[in-house]
Structure 1
Amino acid sequence: MGTWDVHPFDNDTAADFANDLDNANMAEREALIRRVLTRAAGNKDYLEAPEAEEAVAAAALVAAQCTGTEPADIPYGPEEPIPALSADFRLLAVEALDRVLADESELSELWGESEDGRAWQGSVGRLRQVLDPAHQPQGDALFEI
């Protein structure tokens, strides 16, 4: 893993996704985010780490709009603005995160073997909490994207 911390854009794959968003025109950014989330949420097989890392990053962009902090200041995230995303992105992002955390997810397995695995799970859990406030994350750390 080309990973330097537990947050959504703290890995090479997510940083590349941010660059892809920056290079896309404004009209294509929403479709790119939706495609990444849909690919992870709809995966019924083994979810490879790169797809999961992109999904977590895309979910962070959706969550940033939910917190009212637009434009989001996400380290290593996209530098160009993200269009306002429709409400259905929240549910799609929750489904993608649930898939990332489920069995048959390489990213979940890799973090499970890491000494920072609990911190990563907490980061993803807090992200999910913003997207679905009815879900109560485990742990007591503050949300940080």
Structure 2
Amino acid sequence: MGATGPGPFDNDDALDFLDELEESDPAGRRALIESRIGEVVRGGDYVEAPLMAQAIAGAVLVAACDDIESVVGERNVPAWVDDEPLDVDDRLEELATRLLNRAMKPDDNELFDLWAESDGGERFTARLTHYLDALGE
């Protein structure tokens, strides 16, 4: 059985993306995260759950690198977030903010729909709102 939970790193797709980032050169992590987030933000179509889960993980990593306190208590946070954080600028913050806002749109993405169908939509949205707040500070 795969990992599934309301946290940004509580599912197999996000964990796979974290592994990809861990194995990449630290200098290339930002590009990977920007690419994954950008794929969703620039796309106009319905987003499948695996891609949205990975993009959410990327956006939360942006928030964490900007404010490490935002991920206190979160499971599976990579050590590099504290040791070698991404260089977060206004453009990357804006991209992550747009992604998290899109992730909470009903009927726009499969991941939101799956949580809403299981009566977990409020928990899912609350978790993402926490990271939106961290990006806004």
Normalised-by-shorter TM-score class: 0.7 to 0.9
SS where residue 50 of structure 1 aligns?
Answer: helix
Q: In 2, distance between residues paired with 1:113 and 1:70?
A: 28
Code of the residue aligned with 1:83 in structure 2: it is: L
Tell me, yes or no, if structure 1 residue 126 matches structure 2 residue 130.
yes
8 Å CA contact 2:65–2:85 kept in 1: the answer is no
Tell me, yes or no, if structure 1 residue 99 matches structure 2 residue 102.
yes
Code of the residue aligned with 2:60 in structure 1: it is: A
Provide the TM-score with structure 1 as the length reference. 0.80
8 Å CA contact 2:47–2:110 kept in 1: the answer is yes
8 Å CA contact 2:62–2:96 kept in 1: the answer is yes
Look up the match of 1:48: 48
CA RMSD of aligned residues (A): 2.3
- Cα distance, 1:28 vs. partner? 1.1
Report how many residues are paired. 133
Structure 2, unaligned runs of 5 or more: none
Structure 1, unaligned runs of 5 or more: 134-145
Point out the structure with the larger helix share.
2
Look up the match of 2:35: 35
CA 1:122–1:69: 2 relative to 1, 3 Å: closer
- Cα distance, 1:63 vs. partner? 0.8
